[in-house]
Structure 1
Amino acid sequence: DSALEGWQKIVIGALLTTIVWIAATYFTPPDDEDTLRAFVKKVNPGGPGWAKYSDGVSTEPWPVPNGILCMVLGCLGVYGFLLGVGQLIYGHIESGSLFIVLAIVSSIGLSKIWK
């Protein structure tokens, strides 16, 4: 057995990992512009951080913000239906109806955004 609790091991591991990647970031030289441009041309990573290396290569919009919105709406829809049905089963008509309406609105929003 170890003298450290499980959560303490995780915190120490996270701290050590963070110290190492920050040190590697500051003590190693950055890649040159040509390497970054070749990477963007080959991989086409999304996001605003790569725009200055893209040279107009990517014409597709970055899907991550839209994906996050879809994830939030999907969670609201699923949990709204679950909690709404549970509330209705226990006779809490007002709160159950409110959850069901939230779920329906979220699901409609999700279906309109996710195409």
Structure 2
Amino acid sequence: EVSGMAVAAAVSLYLQIVMGWDGDRPRDFAYIMIVTVTLTTMAWLAVTFMTHPEPDKTLTAFHRRVRPQGPGWKPVAAMSGPVVVHGSLRRELANALLGCVLVYSALFGVGQILLRSAALGLGLLLTSALAAVLIARNLEHPDGDSATRAAAAS
């Protein structure tokens, strides 16, 4: 990750400062993006394959602490032994999407209130608040409808 960020910054600055490509001109911006993404990806993959992977001990400790899900973590999960996983990958992806809705609705909502339409802005802020409530509910009850389960358990 660090190599990718460093190469992206270096390439982008080189193209704009040394080569004189202007990021404000659409064609130059497109070229800057194409070259930067290509060289960054090449460098990132080279560094990934040239460096040693993390030791199994580090990966299993990370897995026990964070409990990442998905098919790529199955070998590490097998080494980690039984770990209680709360929630699901689907719910985590839903939270990520809701987080985007929250941020962009809040951003555009404030912009609408300040610059254009207060009604639309308030609607967007309400959408943002709803996304926040849904995320909070998902984080508080990662196993699904726990309000019903809690009532049944009492």
Normalising by structure 2, what TM-score? 0.45
The answer for the alignment partner of 1:71 in structure 2 is 100
User: Do the aligned residues in 1 keep the contact of 2:113 with 2:122 (CA within 8 Å)?
Assistant: yes
Q: Number of matched residues?
A: 104
- Kindly indicate whether structure 1 or structure 2 has the higher relative contact order, using CA contacts under 8 Å at least 6 residues apart: 1
Correspondence 1:51 to 2:74: yes
Distance 1:3 1:71, change over 3 A: closer
The answer for the alignment partner of 2:40 in structure 1 is 17
Shift of 1:83: 0.3
> Runs of 5+ in structure 2 lacking a partner?
1-16, 24-30, 138-154
Shift of 1:97: 1.6
Distance 1:103 1:9, change over 3 A: closer
Question: What value does the CA root-mean-square deviation take over the aligned residues?
Answer: 3.8
Normalising by structure 1, what TM-score? 0.55
Distance 1:103 1:5, change over 3 A: same
> Runs of 5+ in structure 1 lacking a partner?
89-95
Correspondence 1:100 to 2:88: no
Percent pairwise identity: 18
